[in-house]
């Protein structure tokens, strides 16, 4: 292997073979300073035998290298001790407009909501096959411009669309996603198609399984049209085929890592898409592109068949053009197949209705006070007050709650383990970026994170979860400027759900967003609150002009 930052254990055995014992003792003493430790000569001397024994064990383990899909059996659970998670399911009544008509300009169909498309398909005003052909044509026309498509699944899409039409003729209706096209971030496995993870080492990879999310959407009657781009191994927006673009500004990347999902949906290439988030990968591209993204509570959607980046942080959620659309998609994908140790079943009893006299809404005043008084974020509060909400000003003490950036230790340690094989075979040389801030270097540097520190970081995470749950129990919705303070890291660590939605544009014409934070397993409240805002405003109904035809 290439030389990189000397790893304590392996360097020790080399030292014992090639240097004096005194040199080895000094090497140990010098190296442990990287871990904020200080050992005496005698303490370092007594370690040598143990370190050599550990290295022999590691060599035994490395005779076979673990694949990315081998589960980590110690599942993270964000729920506080004793919390009872409701599983009592109630029927959801979706507000489907029954008199929806095809637009005079067919291109306007690209920006119809899921309920509008559902109305057209279920009332046979357009067939699923024709709707699918329409969106595939848009993917072919604009996919290269946005660099958002890794693989079209045209043959599969037309087959699924025909089945949807045939079922409707036979009186079989699977619900509001029946016959509706969509896209998957290309880290979800679909049999017969490449699952590239956006990176050269895996660009020809075909996995002989169907991911949980794909199966759930297939059961709902949805039509898979494309595998969409993601930044290499779920980082930013650069992948082996290019750099996914922001539909509002083609000179700018779409952010990531759910880059293609946000870009394609906002440009009207697809009605909705599925993304994932470990630390901002739904929120960031949704903000950059002006989409509505739901990052659900950790563990509420099984990740079976999806690339692992970080077992205790990865989450799956929909990227759409409205909170109502996101609610529909989430209703069909949440749950578990038993193949993800962290996934659970929980209640999602969404009504789309909000009683603002009862809903406890707060905003993080300390974050808002950092903004210009004319900033669009303030108008969000005005909108909620005009709806009858009592929006309470509170202090979100993020620095006190989260004084140390634990997420770096946890994410880097777990991701290095998930891609151990890539590092040890030197195939990380093929990854698109080789700078010090990208995965190859992160994976190498993470080898120096001691297991003791990783475990203790998670113990402090437990305390953070307690603090955040104690804080949030007083509110149903907490409004925060999207990238303010440390809330993005905190909520990803604690597993709290968020909705990120557009609220206008900055002076450069780039979309801006706001984030609504909810309680664990209460996606329904923040989605209903987001819908109320979007029903009153026009922000999510604006579309990038280039893609109007």
Residue 429 falls within a domain, yes or no? no
Task: Kindly report the number of other CB atoms within 10 A of residue 181's CB atom.
Answer: 27
Nearest one of 297, 132, 160, 276 to 218, comparing CA atoms: 160
Residue 106, domain member (yes or no) = no
Strands 223-228 and 149-152: antiparallel
Q: Does residue 13 have a pLDDT over 90? A: no
Residue 540, domain member (yes or no): yes
In terms of domains, do 385 and 508 share one?
yes
> What is the pLDDT confidence band of residue 3, given thresholds at 50, 70 and 90?
very low
pTM for this entry: 0.95
157 and 22 fall within a common domain? no
The 10s digit of each residue's pLDDT in 425-466 is: 999 999 999 999 999 999 999 999 999 999 999 999 999 999
For residues 117 and 50, membership in a common domain is answered with no
Q: What is the DSSP letter of 306?
A: B
Q: Is residue 424 part of a domain?
A: no
Rounded distance between C-alpha atoms, residue 430 and residue 428, angstroms: 5
Token digits of residue 228: 């969409």
Environment class of 436 (CB within 10 Å of its CB; exposed 0-12, middle 13-18, buried 19+): exposed
**Mean pLDDT in residue range 150-159:** 98
Residue 32 resides in a domain: yes
Q: What is the pLDDT of residues 499-516, one digit of tens each?
A: 999 999 999 999 999 999
- pLDDT exceeds cutoff 60 at 16: no
Could you tell me the sign of the dihedral formed by the alpha carbons of 255, 258, 264, 267, in that order? negative
**Mind listing the pLDDT tens digit for each residue in 50-83?**
999 999 999 999 999 999 999 999 999 999 999 9
pLDDT at position 12 = 47
Same domain as 522, residue 386? yes
Residue 19: predicted pLDDT: 76
Answer yes or no: is 274 within a domain: yes
Q: Are residues 465 and 324 in the same domain?
A: yes
Beta bridge partners of 273: 183, 319
Residue 10 in this model has a pLDDT that exceeds 90: no
Q: Work out whether the CA dihedral 288, 293, 296, 301 comes out positive or negative.
A: negative
Q: State the residue for tokens 């922001």.
A: 246
What pLDDT is recorded for position 549?
A: 87
Q: CA 358 from chain center: how many Å?
A: 31
Is 11 found in the same domain as 124?
no
399-412 residue pLDDT tens: 999 999 999 999 99
Do 151 and 219 lie in a common domain? yes
Cα-based distances in Å from 491 to 82, 280, 288, 461, 545: 20, 10, 20, 11, 34
Residues 190 and 337 in one domain: yes
Rounded (5°) CA angle 37-41-43: 65
Is 80 exceeded by the pLDDT of residue 9? Answer: no
Residue 206 — pLDDT band, cuts 50, 70, 90? Answer: very high
What pLDDT does residue 541 have? 98
Q: Which domain does 329 fall in, by range? A: 113-346+356-399+461-547
| Dihedral sign (CA 69, 73, 79, 82) | positive
- My answer on whether 384 and 485 are in the same domain is yes
Residue 345 reports pLDDT greater than 70: yes
Assigned domain for 1 exists: yes
Query: CA 155, CA 163: separation in Å to the nearest integer?
Result: 13
Instruction: Output the CA angle 197-203-206, nearest 5 degrees.
Output: 85
pLDDT in tens, 360-390: 999 999 999 999 999 999 999 999 999 999 9
CATH code for position 506: 3.90.1300.10
404 part of a folded domain? no
Last residue of a domain, one of 64, 79, 100: 64
User: Pairing relation of β-strands 391-394 and 361-364?
Assistant: parallel
Q: Are residues 247 and 321 in the same domain?
A: yes
- 459-500 pLDDT, tens per residue? 999 999 999 999 999 999 999 999 999 999 999 999 999 999
Total tally of structural domains belonging to the chain: 2
In a shared domain, residues 56 and 120: no
**Phi/psi at 107 (nearest 5 deg)?**
-60, -25
SS3 (DSSP) at 275: strand
pLDDT score of 160 more than 90:
yes
Q: How confident is the model at residue 4 (pLDDT cuts 50, 70, 90)?
A: very low
pLDDT band at 301 (very low <50, low <70, confident <90, very high): very high
Question: Position of tokens 């085929």?
Answer: 241
Banded model confidence at residue 259, pLDDT cuts 50, 70, 90: very high
Q: How far is CA 126 from CA 190, 267, 269, in A?
A: 27, 21, 17
């Amino acid at each position: 292997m290439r030389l990189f930052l000397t790893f304590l254990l392996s360097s020790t055995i080399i030292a014992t073979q090639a240097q004096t014992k005194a040199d080895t003792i000094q090497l140990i003493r010098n190296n442990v300073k990287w871990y904020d430790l200080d050992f005496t000569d005698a303490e370092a001397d007594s370690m040598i035998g143990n370190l050599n024994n550990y290295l022999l064990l590691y060599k035994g383990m490395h005779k076979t290298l673990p694949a990315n899909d081998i589960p980590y059996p110690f599942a993270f659970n964000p729920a506080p001790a004793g919390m009872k998670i409701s599983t009592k399911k109630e029927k959801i009544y979706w507000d489907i407009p029954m008199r929806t008509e095809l637009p005079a300009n067919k291109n306007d169909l690209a920006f119809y909501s899921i309920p509008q498309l559902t109305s057209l398909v279920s009332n046979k005003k357009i067939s699923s096959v024709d709707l699918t052909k329409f969106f595939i044509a848009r993917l072919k026309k604009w996919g290269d411009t946005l660099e958002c498509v890794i693989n079209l699944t045209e043959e599969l899409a037309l087959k699924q669309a025909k089945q949807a039409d045939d079922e409707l003729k036979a009186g079989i209706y699977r619900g509001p996603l029946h016959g509706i096209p969509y896209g998957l971030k290309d880290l979800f496995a679909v049999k017969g198609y490449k699952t590239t993870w956006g990176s050269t080492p895996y660009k020809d990879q075909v996995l002989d399984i169907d991911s949980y999310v794909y199966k759930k959407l297939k059961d709902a009657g949805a039509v898979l049209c494309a595998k969409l781009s993601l930044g290499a191994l779920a980082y930013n927006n650069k992948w082996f085929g290019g750099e996914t673009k922001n539909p509002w500004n083609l000179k700018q990347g779409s952010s990531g890592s759910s880059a293609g999902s946000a870009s394609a949906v906002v440009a009207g290439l697809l009605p909705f898409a599925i993304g994932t988030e470990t630390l901002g990968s739904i929120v960031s591209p949704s903000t950059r592109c002006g989409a509505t993204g739901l990052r659900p509570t950790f563990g509420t959607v099984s990740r079976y068949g999806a690339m692992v980046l970080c077992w205790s942080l990865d989450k799956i959620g929909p990227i759409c053009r409205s909170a109502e659309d996101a609610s529909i998609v989430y209703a069909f994908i949440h749950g578990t197949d038993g193949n993800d140790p962290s996934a659970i079943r929980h209640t999602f009893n969404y009504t789309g209705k909000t009683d603002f006299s009862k809903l406890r809404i707060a905003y993080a005043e300390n974050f808002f006070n950092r903004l210009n008084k004319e900033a669009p974020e303030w108008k969000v509060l005005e909108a909620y007050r005009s709806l009858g909400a009592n929006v309470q000003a509170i202090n979100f003490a993020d620095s006190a709650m989260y004084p140390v950036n634990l997420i770096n230790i946890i994410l880097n340690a777990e991701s290095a383990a998930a891609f151990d094989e890539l590092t040890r075979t030197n195939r990380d040389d093929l990854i698109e970026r080789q700078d010090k801030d990208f995965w190859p270097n992160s994976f190498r540097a993470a080898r120096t994170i001691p297991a003791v520190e990783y475990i203790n970081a998670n113990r402090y995470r437990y305390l953070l979860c307690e603090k955040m749950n104690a804080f949030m129990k007083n509110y149903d919705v907490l409004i925060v400027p999207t990238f303010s303070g440390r809330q993005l890291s905190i909520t990803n660590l604690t597993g709290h759900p968020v909705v990120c939605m557009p609220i206008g544009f900055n002076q450069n014409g780039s979309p801006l967003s706001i984030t609504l934070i909810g309680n664990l397993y209460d996606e329904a409240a923040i989605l209903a609150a987001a819908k109320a805002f979007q029903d009153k405003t026009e922000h999510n109904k604006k579309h990038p002009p280039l893609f109007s035809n």
